Structure 1
Amino acid sequence: MTKIDRTPTKADFSHVTEWVFDLDNTLYPHHVNLFAQIDKNMTAYVSTLLQMERDEARKLQKQYYLDHGTTLQGLMIHHGVDPNDFLEKAHAIDYSSLTAQPELGAAIKALPGRKFIFTNGSVKHAEMAAGALGILEHFDDIFDIVAADFVPKPAQATYDKFAALKRIETGKAAMFEDLPRNLKVPKTLGMQTVLLVPNNLEDTVVEWWEKTSGEDDHIDFVTDDLTDFLAKIAG
């Protein structure tokens, strides 16, 4: 795994006026594990839909995620599911594990320019999560999987649609993500890229696709503390 990179400076981000944040495991830390609830719901959905045992359903769910970027995309392609029904059931979760983060809110507010949430989840999920964190009011807009025509990151077309729809000047943008593969396209578009990793990175169990490698030269910065990182670059 990649270690935490050099401390960012205000100068590193002096050109940035477009701030783009993934949601899950990015705006809130990995250890909160909110996504575990979504993951469980997705497994249950696949199990019910295809009449599979849980372990078999989970294996297929993960395979669709790897092959298509999201479990939903795989289910749409191979089984013609109603995406809205899937999203509603997948995001039927308890947000009480998220608590207000006023310091994070202040750090986001202090960033110069526009701020966006860019998620493979739904607007409702983003609003609920960001609302629980007390940071929703600091974002100009949310671009979700519905706006992306259900084509998830890391597809090039999805980033292009986001940039076109929100009129993003990609050369003046920064992207914050927890998945290394989701930062490849932003880097080619000229964005500054920041990878969020768990606290105690070496001791945290993560899936192999969440890990960095020696080939991750599309990642400019790595941090395990978003609030501290933003405070540093905001000056």
Structure 2
Amino acid sequence: MSEGQMSETSQAEIAARFSGIHDWVFDLDNTLYPHHIDLHTQIGARMTDYVSSLLGLAPEEAWTLQRQYYLDHGLTLLGLMADHGIDPLDYLEKTHAIDYSALQPQPGLAAALAALPGRKFIFTNASRGHADAVATALGLSGLFDGVFDLVAAGYAPKPTADSYRKFLEGMGVDAHSAAMFEDLPRNLDVPHSLGMVTVLIIPSAQEKVPIWWDSQSTATARADFVTDDLAGFLAAIVGTSQT
């Protein structure tokens, strides 16, 4: 947690708010690693290649279509499934065949996660394979009790209420004793309404934010806390210090 964030919310206040939490739910991309790593640029390029190859479109046309599917369906994949009957598993495998070398082990985050009482989960709109690859690259393997991916959600993505319902039921999580960590404000609306403690992860002031990330999107009444330092925030919850 940055010094500025700590000055707004004391460690005692943070610890008190999370005292009854024993299920910790983390988004994956741009939550467990900083925004500037920007794996989405690679994934987006793979998506364009997929659409271009599937439909015989020029890259510019393929990008326009994938963006329209995202706007209309919430995910490009869902548009391709609806209009072209593609195999979603093939799509997820090909679009997540990326280079993970930009990710480095995060011992501070690993220690903070390990210190949390209760269970830890990854809840992502991406694939299980992508989640496992990210966790491995960050040195977080073995710290999570489960991964709930888009396939497990029956292709109902966040922020749809159905996605959260399936997660809670599938993982046996009581929303009132759970906390959700996310980088997209819209994905905190439903968990907040269900009674989860919500934490919005934002870029640090020093980060070069990817052009796709809308800085204005941080305005939300659905985030109980906002931080640019996940590891520091988690350390504050359990009352430990980072070295």
Please tell me the TM-score bracket, short chain as reference. over 0.9
2:223 pairs with 212, 219, 224, which one?
219
- Following superposition, the deviation at residue 73 of structure 1 comes to 1.2
- Following superposition, the deviation at residue 38 of structure 1 comes to 0.8
- Following superposition, the deviation at residue 144 of structure 1 comes to 0.4
Do residues 139 (structure 1) and 144 (structure 2) align?
yes
Aligned to 1:13: 18
Aligned AA for 2:20?
H
Aligned AA for 1:158?
S
- Following superposition, the deviation at residue 4 of structure 1 comes to 5.7
- Following superposition, the deviation at residue 219 of structure 1 comes to 1.2
Do residues 234 (structure 1) and 242 (structure 2) align?
no
Count residues with an aligned counterpart: 232
In 2, Cα distance between the equivalents of 1:207 and 1:133?
23
Q: State how 1:67-216 maps to structure 2 within 5 Å.
A: 67-200=72-205, 204-207=209-212, 211-212=216-217, 214=219, 216=220
- Following superposition, the deviation at residue 63 of structure 1 comes to 2.1
- Following superposition, the deviation at residue 203 of structure 1 comes to 6.2
In 2, Cα distance between the equivalents of 1:198 and 1:208?
10
Do residues 35 (structure 1) and 35 (structure 2) align?
no
In 2, Cα distance between the equivalents of 1:203 and 1:121?
24
In 1, Cα distance between the equivalents of 2:209 and 2:138?
23
- Following superposition, the deviation at residue 211 of structure 1 comes to 3.8
1:206/1:180 Cα in 2 relative to 1: closer, same or farther (>3 Å)? Answer: farther
8 Å Cα contact 1:179-1:211 kept in structure 2: no
Aligned AA for 2:56?
Q
In 2, Cα distance between the equivalents of 1:33 and 1:205?
7
8 Å Cα contact 2:192-2:198 kept in structure 1: yes
In 2, Cα distance between the equivalents of 1:209 and 1:173?
27
8 Å Cα contact 1:114-1:140 kept in structure 2: yes
Q: SS state of the match for residue 20, structure 1?
A: strand
Q: SS state of the match for residue 120, structure 2?
A: strand
The share of aligned pairs that are identical, in percent, is: 55
Q: TM-score, normalised by structure 1?
A: 0.92
Q: SS state of the match for residue 43, structure 1?
A: helix
8 Å Cα contact 1:18-1:174 kept in structure 2: yes
Aligned AA for 1:44?
D
- Following superposition, the deviation at residue 200 of structure 1 comes to 2.1
Aligned AA for 2:32?
L
In 1, Cα distance between the equivalents of 2:202 and 2:33?
11
In 2, Cα distance between the equivalents of 1:47 and 1:33?
22
1:202/1:133 Cα in 2 relative to 1: closer, same or farther (>3 Å)? Answer: closer
1:5-38 alpha-carbon deviations (Å, 9 max, x no partner): 8335211211111100010111011111122111
Q: SS state of the match for residue 217, structure 2?
A: coil
Q: TM-score, normalised by structure 2?
A: 0.89
1:115/1:62 Cα in 2 relative to 1: closer, same or farther (>3 Å)? Answer: same
Q: SS state of the match for residue 109, structure 2?
A: helix
Q: Which residues of structure 2 form unaligned runs of 5+?
A: none
- Following superposition, the deviation at residue 136 of structure 1 comes to 2.0
Q: Which residues of structure 1 form unaligned runs of 5+?
A: none
RMSD: 1.9
- Following superposition, the deviation at residue 67 of structure 1 comes to 2.3
1:97-130 alpha-carbon deviations (Å, 9 max, x no partner): 1111111000001111100000111111100110
Aligned to 1:51: 56
8 Å Cα contact 2:43-2:96 kept in structure 1: yes
